[in-house]
Amino acid sequence: LTLDVGKAGTPVSPTLYGLMIEEINHSIDGGLYAEMVQNRAFHNDWSGTTPWDLVRRGSSQGTSELDFTSGPSQSLSSSMKLSITSASPENEVGLTNPGYWGFGLKAETTYIGSFYAHVASDSPGPITIRLINNRTGAVQASSTVTPQPGGWAQYQYTLKTAKIAPSTDNHLELSVAHPGTVWLQLVSLFQPTYHDRANGLRPDLMGMMADMHPAFLRMPGGNFLEGNTLADAYDWKKTIGPIVDRAGHNGSWFYWSSDGVGLLDYLTWCEDLHIEPVLAVNAGYALDHTHVTPGPNLAPLVQSALDEIEYVTGDTSTHWGAVRAKDGHPTPFVLHYIEIGNEDYLDKSGSYPARYAQFAQALHQRYPQYKLIATDGNAEYSTRVVSPEVSDEHYYKSPSDMMDLVHHYDNAPRDGPKVFVGEWATRSGSPTPNFGDALGDAAWMTSLERNSDLIVMAAYAPLFTNVNPGAMLWPTDLIGYDAGTAYGSPSYYAQALFAGHLGDTTIAAKLSREDDRIFVSATKESSTGTVHLKLVNAHSTPETLAIAGLPGGHTAEISSLHASTWNDTNSITDPAHIRPVVSTVPVKVGEWSHTIPANTIEVLDIPSR
Ligand code: AHR
């Protein structure tokens, strides 16, 4: 097989690789959000206030019940009432919380906590907060807070671990040692956060995203944007300001969303990763296939989108820019793309063109500088009827189907909208992709790069899953974690390699014959002349290529991702089984022969000087 490389092609989109996030698989609550307490606001559903439990030691007596008449804010207008009739320092009564499948504790670490409490004249006195090991019962850290009689007040506490062995097998307990009554709300405990931001994000997951070299974050969905019903759609105005003013809402993936990560938190997340938001606005279509009728009924949603854009981009002289400043961020954020809805090709009522037009008319008039993304296009459905600047197209495929799709965009028309592959993934592994999936993904990425004159952005989805049973709702997610550690799937490393070695111009890379398991792409960095050559061999045998047209006489660096079989993978207990290995190879002048091992993804950085 011969590979001819060399002729410069078109510019590579500088925003080609990015991230997509939505609240799915406990991606945020129980994932990226550094909050460790599950259901901190005592949300009540058919199962009660799961996973909270009452604990009574020895002969102590007490009850816990939701009190819907008292809470610290309008949004959190209920609370957990703890009524203790008999307790002593030896026999306490309290509440326990198992966290999100445990509390991930590390040695000599400070955890920052707070809660709202209300006590009257029959106060039970000090509240002791402890982190306790589930197996040994050992107290890993403790602190005491004494609520003062009066109205609702917030109390802070810190829990500092000693030289403990790291473990997720821990729970939180708040208990009292005297009879009395106390009302509690918003019981919170944060692990250290990325850039030490208050109400912040897990540093390990932020670091892993940074290592993917993303250019943007598509947020906040996905289905999460739409809601299972119109009433459950994402309403950004309910996600800003102090967290005590955020009620949370019914997420579309069958669990409650605290909305602790709200619009401003998404934006500062972008700021911390030096990337841009791709802002998806609720366009009045829900997953139950109902929609808001275009016209006056839709006008409030259009206004909400205009307000949201002002919150993101307006200076402090604007109403919503001033609200953002009051929320702690006076500087406006940079924005280029606004997405109208999500997967509106599923709206068989035909309402999307009119809904899109109503949004587009208002948004273009107020913000002509921003590009609009429509969501009615999809390769499998081909129903695109509106003419946006960009069309969002989604692909979820098996490894072989993904490999079959790699020429889909090669001959696609260039005179229509640009393409945003807003969700894509090769899916067979669970909870995270296996090596066969990574090969499908790498094959697909050669196509994204080759066609990046048309494909301006692309994002794998879903990005995250908590790997505990019951947490994952959608198998095959790029990054897995539990309460303590995280790992990258083979697909994660494939993507980090591709995005981390991306030039600014495509280079023609042509195989002498088509092979449905060999995939290539090449780009060049103009400032250095370095060629990034990506080679994918999905065969179970090595493949030798005769490569011509590359600058020779230098040493290339090869980053190689390899596995014995397509089923090989990484996991929470074996996180580094498959990882890139870096070596070097001399590149000869003229044609040279290069063997790609079986089941291997390679990225060669070939210097020209
Ligand atoms: O990524 C999972 C889901 O797939 C998204 O929420 C939705 O947009 C798509 O159907």
Report the distance separating Cα 607 and Cα 587, nearest Å.
9
Query: Which residues lie closer than 8 Å to 296 by C-beta, 6 or more apart?
Result: none
Tokens 């390990």 correspond to 204
Does any domain span residue 599?
no
Which residues, in sequence order, are bridge partners of residue 367?
Answer: none
Helix-, strand-, coil-residue percentages of the chain, each rounded to 5: 20, 35, 45
Cα of 240 vs centre of ligand 1, distance in Å, is: 24
Report the distance separating Cα 52 and Cα 98, nearest Å.
8
Does any domain span residue 536?
no
Q: What token pair was written down for 401?
A: 């189907």
Does any domain span residue 275?
yes
With beta carbons less than 8 A apart as the criterion, state whether 536 and 564 touch. Answer: no
Ligand 1 atom nearest 474 alpha carbon? 2
Say how many Å lie between the first and final Cα of the chain, rounded. 27
Ligand 1 atom nearest 22 alpha carbon? 6
pLDDT at 124 over 90: yes
Cα of 439 vs centre of ligand 1, distance in Å, is: 22
DSSP type of residue 32: I
CB-count burial class (<10 Å; 0-12, 13-18, 19+) for 598: middle
Q: In this predicted structure, what is the pLDDT of residue 551?
A: 79
With beta carbons less than 8 A apart as the criterion, state whether 593 and 545 touch. Answer: yes
Does any domain span residue 2?
no
Report the distance separating Cα 590 and Cα 238, nearest Å.
62
Residues 236-281: pLDDT tens digits?
999 999 999 999 999 999 999 999 999 999 999 999 999 999 999 9
Ligand 1 atom nearest 20 alpha carbon? 1
Q: In this predicted structure, what is the pLDDT of residue 1?
A: 85
Task: Select from 294, 280, 552 the least CA-distant residue to 390.
Answer: 280
The answer on 424 and 490 residing in a single domain is yes
**Ligand 1 mutation pick, 474, 476, 477, 478, max ligand atoms within 8 A of CB:** 474
With beta carbons less than 8 A apart as the criterion, state whether 384 and 352 touch. Answer: no
Strand pairing class (592-596; 455-460): unpaired
Report the distance separating Cα 81 and Cα 366, nearest Å.
49
Q: In this predicted structure, what is the pLDDT of residue 379?
A: 57
- Backbone torsion region of residue 414, taken as left when φ is above 0, otherwise alpha when ψ lies between -120 and 50, otherwise beta: alpha
Cα of 494 vs centre of ligand 1, distance in Å, is: 21
Half-sphere exposure of 31 (CA within 13 A, CB side): 31
Give, in order, the Cα–Cα distances in Å from 450 to each of 333, 505, 523, 524, 535.
31, 10, 8, 12, 13
Residue nearest (by alpha carbon) to ligand 1 atom 4? 222
Cα of 141 vs centre of ligand 1, distance in Å, is: 40
Q: Treating both helix axes as pointing N-terminal to C-terminal, what angle do 319-326 and 299-313 enclose, rounded to 10 degrees?
A: 60
100: containing domain = 53-190
The answer on 309 and 418 residing in a single domain is yes
Ligand 1 atom nearest 223 alpha carbon? 6
Residues 409-459: pLDDT tens digits?
999 989 989 999 999 999 999 999 999 999 999 999 999 999 999 999 999
Report the distance separating Cα 319 and Cα 563, nearest Å.
55
Ligand 1 atom nearest 394 alpha carbon? 9
Among 6-10, 521-525, 572-576, which is the least confidently predicted range? 6-10
Cα of 407 vs centre of ligand 1, distance in Å, is: 23
Task: Select from 44, 183, 172 the least CA-distant residue to 96.
Answer: 172
Give the DSSP per-residue string, 371-414: EEEE----TTT----S--SEEEEEEEE-HHHHHHTTTTTTT--S
**Ligand 1 mutation pick, 223, 253, 345, 478, max ligand atoms within 8 A of CB:** 223
Which domain-ending residue is among 500, 518, 550? 500
CB-count burial class (<10 Å; 0-12, 13-18, 19+) for 289: exposed
Does any domain span residue 323?
yes
Ligand 1 atom nearest 342 alpha carbon? 8
The answer on 291 and 402 residing in a single domain is yes
Task: Select from 158, 97, 212 the least CA-distant residue to 497.
Answer: 212
Task: Select from 185, 190, 131 the least CA-distant residue to 161.
Answer: 131
Question: What DSSP element (H or E) covers 322?
Answer: helix 319-326
Q: In this predicted structure, what is the pLDDT of residue 387?
A: 81
Which residues line the pocket of ligand 1, CB cutoff 6 A? 22, 24, 221-223, 342-343, 394, 423, 461-462, 474
| CATH number of the domain to which 169 belongs | 2.60.120.260
The answer on 135 and 25 residing in a single domain is no
Q: What token pair was written down for 493?
A: 């490393």
The answer on 243 and 380 residing in a single domain is yes
Cα of 260 vs centre of ligand 1, distance in Å, is: 21
The answer on 451 and 355 residing in a single domain is yes
Residues 470-488: pLDDT tens digits?
999 999 999 999 999 999 9
Which domain-ending residue is among 500, 526, 557? 500
Residue nearest (by alpha carbon) to ligand 1 atom 7? 222
Cα of 462 vs centre of ligand 1, distance in Å, is: 8
The answer on 266 and 152 residing in a single domain is no
Cα of 222 vs centre of ligand 1, distance in Å, is: 5
The answer on 177 and 250 residing in a single domain is no
The answer on 459 and 347 residing in a single domain is yes
Question: What DSSP element (H or E) covers 361?
Answer: helix 352-366
Give the pLDDT mean for 287-298. Answer: 98
Q: Is 224 helix (H, G, I), strand (E, B) or coil?
A: helix
Number of domains the chain is built from:
2
Cα of 398 vs centre of ligand 1, distance in Å, is: 16
- Calculate the average pLDDT of the chain: 96
Residue nearest (by alpha carbon) to ligand 1 atom 2? 462
Does any domain span residue 361?
yes
Cα of 423 vs centre of ligand 1, distance in Å, is: 7
Residues 532-550: pLDDT tens digits?
999 999 999 999 999 998 8
Ligand 1 atom nearest 396 alpha carbon? 4
Q: Treating both helix axes as pointing N-terminal to C-terminal, what angle do 490-500 and 435-450 enclose, rounded to 10 degrees?
A: 20
Question: What is the reported pTM?
Answer: 0.97
Does any domain span residue 390?
yes
Ligand 1 atom nearest 224 alpha carbon? 6
Ligand 1 atom nearest 422 alpha carbon? 8
pLDDT at 384 over 80: no
Residue nearest (by alpha carbon) to ligand 1 atom 5? 222
Residue nearest (by alpha carbon) to ligand 1 atom 9? 222
Does any domain span residue 136?
yes
CB-count burial class (<10 Å; 0-12, 13-18, 19+) for 75: middle
Cα of 71 vs centre of ligand 1, distance in Å, is: 35
Cα of 308 vs centre of ligand 1, distance in Å, is: 23
Q: In this predicted structure, what is the pLDDT of residue 563?
A: 98
The answer on 258 and 221 residing in a single domain is yes
Question: What DSSP element (H or E) covers 81?
Answer: strand 79-86
Ligand 1 atom nearest 253 alpha carbon? 6
Ligand 1 atom nearest 461 alpha carbon? 1
The answer on 179 and 299 residing in a single domain is no
Give the pLDDT mean for 212-241. Answer: 98
Residue nearest (by alpha carbon) to ligand 1 atom 8? 222
CB count in 10 Å sphere of residue 370: 17
Write down the ipTM of this complex: 0.99
The answer on 103 and 173 residing in a single domain is yes
| CATH number of the domain to which 346 belongs | 3.20.20.80
Cα of 223 vs centre of ligand 1, distance in Å, is: 6
Cα of 466 vs centre of ligand 1, distance in Å, is: 17
Which domain-ending residue is among 165, 190, 215? 190
Q: Is 161 helix (H, G, I), strand (E, B) or coil?
A: coil
